[in-house]
Amino acid sequence: MSALGSAPRPALETAAMVRAGELSAVEVLEHHLATIEAHEDDVRAFTLVTPDEARTQARAVDAAVAKGEDPGPLAGVPIALKDNLCTRGLPTTCSSRILDGWRPPYDATVVTRLAAAGAVSVGKTNMDEFAMGSSTETSAIGPTRNPHDLTRVPGGSSGGSAAAVAAGFAPLALGSDTGGSIRQPAALCGVVGLKPTYGTVSRYGLVAFASSLDQIGPFAGTVADAALLFDVIGGHDPLDSTSLNRPTPRVLSVLDEGVDGMTIGVLAEYLDGVDPDVAARVHQAAEALAAAGARIEEISVPEVALGLSAYYLIAPGEASSNLARYDGVRYGLRVDAEDTAGMNTATRSAGFGAEVKRRIMLGTYVLSAGYMDAYYNQALKVRTKIIEGFDRAYAQCDLLLGPTTPTTAFALGAKTEDPLTMYLSDVCTIPTNLAGHPAISVPFGTGDDGLPIGVQLLGPALAEGDLLRGAAVVEAAAPPMAPPALTASLRGGSQENREGVS
């Protein structure tokens, strides 16, 4: 593996080489394990690294190739899994103390599909506790750091997955996106993050935060790799009743088709109040799309401004019910007390962090008799309005364009004292979840502070094909971005390691 010192090899290329017998899965894995070994102490992307299990998987891939079998489209590609995806026999913590010691007896559907496609899971990634947060700082084991600047947050809640890809720990990762938890950290860490259409990727085995909004999706270094991963994990699953029973768009094969003839709307509301350097990158991306033949229009969907408020009623409402099961009776943490109700209270008081408690209380309140109509049901009406607003826009446009986040990565600790400020970092991503639509964040240069900026493409339900075509055009026109400073500075230090696996 002579090329390991330079840019990381895309998953697409790695899989092709492994399938062709030109590269062994074990070699690929050892390189990534070495990178993890070298930088994980600084980045803290993982809740758990699983080298032994990974080596077993990698050897199985190599054995299959040796026997002339095809291990699948992700043959030998290392992947990191957000720690809210159930992995049989391996701890699944959601970065919460309340799941201490729990090992799921089953694999999430996506985990099964990854294994069947030949992927090699290197570990579970850190996250905001139960995916509630935008910085990975609510994790019970402490924050993940942004590989581009260790004093900054990686975003969240899937910050560990975004950082893992950015730091070269794995070319691919899975995250979950309830209000922006894939796209926002992807933008802040300078990687690609796709939130697919609700129902295209099975939620079976994804520990629920807000079931009507949660959706699993890929992180990757490139748009093509994200497409490759989406094609593997997508598709109907009888174990998830909300899984769409119709053909899921296959996206890898249409990537090169360009945007000629598409109409792409620049979403005015998403540019309100964002940092000027971020807005400038969005306009620059629009120009690139125009240059590739798309018609660019400015478009307004005023309803999206209501998204944040509606989201913080709907998501906590569902979460208050989804998280009720952590009661100390069957699994995870149990703090003993005089009686059952006391044990429930003691367990939940000790097991949940402040942000999770805040949302459970908020959610319990908005579903309570006498308040439900004013809050939760009102929010559901707003949700319908937002869908109608998007429908109007998509009658005119094929895709929408905007920033992923209003700012680049903020400093660790900067927003932890003020939840409302923290919530605002998801203002441009939340409406997509409320609508159940797909959206993708693509790295597009850096801001005035030298940190990555992501631009976001949004599409109507099941428009992943168009979305990825647009993303490919944006990616091709993206201004250069330096590799993470951390990795660059530490690259020398880990040279021996690197050569050891080359």
Interface with another protein (CB under 8 A), residue from 68, 105, 480, 492: 105
* CB nearer to another protein: pick between 176 and 405: 176
Q: Which region, judged by CB under 8 A, interacts with another protein, from 147-155, 234-242, 299-307, 460-468?
A: 234-242
Active site residue 415: no
Catalytic pick from 24, 82, 95, 243?
A: 82
- Cα torsion 106, 317, 230, 428 to 10°: value is -150
Query: Does residue 219 belong to the site contacting another protein (CB under 8 A)?
Result: no
Query: Does residue 324 belong to the site contacting another protein (CB under 8 A)?
Result: yes
Q: How far is CA 334 from CA 41, 87, 351, in A?
A: 30, 22, 9
Of residues 13 through 42, those in contact with another protein by CB under 8 A are none
Active site residue 82: yes
Interface with another protein (CB under 8 A), residue from 29, 61, 64, 108: 108
Spatial CB neighbours of 344, under 8 Å, sequence gap ≥ 6: 327, 328, 329
The region, left, alpha or beta by phi > 0 then psi within -120 to 50, assigned to residue 257 is alpha
Please say whether the beta carbons of 292 and 259 come within 8 A.
Answer: yes
Query: Does residue 374 belong to the site contacting another protein (CB under 8 A)?
Result: no
Active site residue 181: yes
- Cα torsion 9, 14, 17, 23 to 10°: value is 80
Interface with another protein (CB under 8 A), residue from 56, 151, 253, 340: 340
Catalytic pick from 157, 176, 202, 320?
A: 157
Angle between helix 51-66 and helix 25-43 axes, rounded to 10 deg: 160
Question: Which parts of 255-306 are beta strand (E)?
Answer: 263-267, 295-299
Least distance from another protein to the Cβ atom of residue 309, Å: 18
- Rounded to whole angstroms, the Cα distance separating 28 from 499 reads 13
Least distance from another protein to the Cβ atom of residue 143, Å: 23
Q: Which region, judged by CB under 8 A, interacts with another protein, from 19-27, 45-53, 57-65, 323-331?
A: 323-331
Query: Does residue 344 belong to the site contacting another protein (CB under 8 A)?
Result: yes
Q: How far is CA 62 from CA 20, 59, 120, 286, 501, in A?
A: 11, 5, 11, 44, 16
Q: Which region, judged by CB under 8 A, interacts with another protein, from 10-18, 360-368, 425-433, 471-479?
A: 360-368
What is the DSSP annotation of 31-95? Answer: HHHHHHHHHHHHH--EEEE-HHHHHHHHHHHHHHHHTT----TTTT-EEEEETTB-BTTB---TT
Least distance from another protein to the Cβ atom of residue 130, Å: 10
Q: Which region, judged by CB under 8 A, interacts with another protein, from 5-13, 181-189, 206-214, 275-283?
A: 206-214
Of residues 166 through 205, those in contact with another protein by CB under 8 A are 203-205
Interface with another protein (CB under 8 A), residue from 241, 253, 349, 384: 241
Least distance from another protein to the Cβ atom of residue 335, Å: 15
- What burial letters (b/e) apply to 233-270, b meaning 16+ CB within 10 Å? bbbebeebeebbeeebbebbebbeebbeebebbbbebb
Helices marked H in 196-275 — which ranges?
223-233, 268-271
Interface with another protein (CB under 8 A), residue from 263, 284, 300, 321: 321
* CB nearer to another protein: pick between 102 and 444: 102
Q: Which residues are catalytic?
A: 82, 157, 181
The contact set with another protein (CB under 8 A) reads 84-86, 92, 94, 99, 102, 104-106, 108, 203-208, 210-212, 238-242, 317-318, 320-321, 324-325, 327, 329-331, 339-341, 344, 364, 367-369, 372, 376
